[in-house]
Homo-oligomer: A and B are copies of this chain.
């Protein structure tokens, strides 16, 4: 990802744009035949030389063209005819953002693949669902992962849309009127670059496109944060239902074997904040003055590489975390059972009601036993079996059935079908 933003890449894209534009102009007999061929044959550039020229002429595109001309010779003077610098700069930026999006899609796909694999692996691994950090009702670790898979599917679709937002090409000359360049050149270059024509540019490609792009990265970063936060919670000492993979040599602490810190997901949490920080400046970049000002430029030189590089790194780090996540199903089960079966109290209540007990009495009976379980006087099932008001209506078998975990998992197939298209 960093390579996309290197000067070599940028100038390489500039050269491609200028050459394609020359091809287009040749087809329309605007410049002599053979220019683009000469450029393709002999063009080269050196970053240091361009820098050197730029210090003199204080204009990056002119410096670049001058350096290219040193290699190409005479034909080079036909390059850039009727174009404005923004035609090159903005189309190049969009090419870079499109390439960045493609890499990010690869990262998302890795996360999706890891989530799917682990979700099916733990499709029926029981674990307690928690609302407000408090035990609620059972779910499975596979369902938990499915929620993230569905979320990253959405992120993928959003990124595809964001990629489309910036996949445009503008070769429209100063203030975008095509005064000195034929719109067919733009169409030609766009097609060759796999981009859409920008319907109307001022001088620049409108920055609402880029705002949407970076806003989308911010949303993806927030989804990363949700998954990272989940892992951090699962790894905390008191929970330890899952753990980031620790390599043999790696040590959290020299003597304390439990000191395995979720440093990767903590790092991801911080990276999410960083990526999100690109959203507001990108939004502030939209309202350029009149046909353009250059205030967007320093912002994009910062957030362009930063947000994409950080997000790319984060997605692959996240992929690795999920691929290698050490899951402790036995801990999940013991956590689930640690409340003595209290999470089934509502089912008991409903069962008593169905046996003809009034709702008020059922509530009183269940609550009485639940309080005992809460005070560690025994698992709820045991207490209920011993409670005459219960046992006269519900047999031990019936009671045990009410504590059956599978009851909660009967629709897991449906959920998997919806999320993964298979179950």
Chain A: residues with CB nearer than 8 A to chain B? 56-59, 129-139, 143-144, 146-147, 150-151, 154-155, 158, 161, 165, 174-180, 183, 197, 199-203, 206, 208-209, 211-212, 215-216, 218-219, 221-223, 225-226, 228-230, 232-233, 235-239, 249-252, 254-263, 266-267, 269-274, 276-281, 283-299, 302-303, 306, 310, 335, 338-339, 342-343, 345-346, 348-349, 363, 366-367, 370-371, 374, 407-412, 414-415, 418-419
A174 with B273: in contact, given A129-B203, A287-B222 (CB under 8 Å)?
A: no
Q: Which residues of B contact A226 (CB under 8 A)?
A: 208, 286-288
Pick from B257, B260, B415: contact of A200, CB below 8 A.
B415
Q: Which residue of B lies closest to A272 (CB)?
A: B287
Q: Which residue of B lies closest to A269 (CB)?
A: B295
Tell me the smallest distance from the CB of A148 to a CB of chain B, in Å.
9
Tell me the smallest distance from the CB of A373 to a CB of chain B, in Å.
8
Q: A131-B291, A208-B222, A215-B218 are in contact. List 7 more A-B contacts (CB 8 A).
A: A58-B250, A130-B236, A132-B232, A133-B235, A147-B206, A151-B206, A238-B239
Pick from B131, B177, B239: contact of A203, CB below 8 A.
B131
Q: Which residues of B contact A229 (CB under 8 A)?
A: 287, 289
Q: Which residues of B contact A150 (CB under 8 A)?
A: 199-200, 206
Q: Which residues of B contact A278 (CB under 8 A)?
A: 277
Q: Assess whether A176 is in contact with B139, with CB atoms less than 8 Å apart.
A: yes
Q: Assess whether B298 is in contact with A306, with CB atoms less than 8 Å apart.
A: no
Q: Assess whether B299 is in contact with A285, with CB atoms less than 8 Å apart.
A: no
A200 with B270: in contact, given A134-B259, A280-B280, A291-B129 (CB under 8 Å)?
A: no
Tell me the bound Cα distance from A19 to B403 in angstroms.
31
Tell me the smallest distance from the CB of A89 to a CB of chain B, in Å.
13
Q: Which residues of B contact A411 (CB under 8 A)?
A: 177-179, 183
Q: Assess whether A276 is in contact with B283, with CB atoms less than 8 Å apart.
A: yes
Q: Assess whether B177 is in contact with A143, with CB atoms less than 8 Å apart.
A: yes
A299 with B270: in contact, given A343-B256, A370-B257 (CB under 8 Å)?
A: yes
Q: Which of A56, A206, A266 is most buried by chain B, counting CB atoms within 10 A of its CB?
A: A266
Q: Which residues of B contact A233 (CB under 8 A)?
A: 133, 289-290
Q: Which residue of B lies closest to A86 (CB)?
A: B131
Q: Which residue of B lies closest to A345 (CB)?
A: B255
Q: Assess whether B134 is in contact with A346, with CB atoms less than 8 Å apart.
A: no
A290 with B129: in contact, given A216-B215, A219-B208 (CB under 8 Å)?
A: yes
Q: Assess whether B286 is in contact with A219, with CB atoms less than 8 Å apart.
A: yes
Tell me the bound Cα distance from A150 to B198 in angstroms.
10
Q: Assess whether A197 is in contact with B414, with CB atoms less than 8 Å apart.
A: no
Q: Assess whether A284 is in contact with B418, with CB atoms less than 8 Å apart.
A: no
Tell me the bound Cα distance from A238 to B215 in angstroms.
36
Tell me the smallest distance from the CB of A242 to a CB of chain B, in Å.
12
Tell me the bound Cα distance from A72 to B204 in angstroms.
59
A363 with B287: in contact, given A270-B298, A414-B183 (CB under 8 Å)?
A: no
26 sampled A-B residue pairs with Cβ under 8 A: A57-B251, A58-B249, A129-B176, A129-B291, A131-B203, A131-B290, A132-B262, A132-B266, A134-B259, A134-B260, A135-B258, A135-B259, A137-B174, A147-B206, A208-B226, A215-B219, A219-B283, A255-B366, A255-B370, A267-B295, A269-B293, A273-B281, A273-B299, A276-B280, A276-B283, A277-B280
Tell me the smallest distance from the CB of A305 to a CB of chain B, in Å.
11
Q: Which residues of B contact A144 (CB under 8 A)?
A: 202, 291
Q: Assess whether A294 is in contact with B261, with CB atoms less than 8 Å apart.
A: yes
Q: Which residues of B contact A131 (CB under 8 A)?
A: 174-175, 203, 261, 290-293
Q: Assess whether B216 is in contact with A175, with CB atoms less than 8 Å apart.
A: no
Q: Which residues of B contact A174 (CB under 8 A)?
A: 129, 131, 136-137
Q: Which residue of B lies closest to A348 (CB)?
A: B255
Q: Which residue of B lies closest to A174 (CB)?
A: B137
Q: Which residue of B lies closest to A339 (CB)?
A: B258
Q: Which residues of B contact A310 (CB under 8 A)?
A: 302
Q: Assess whether B209 is in contact with A154, with CB atoms less than 8 Å apart.
A: yes
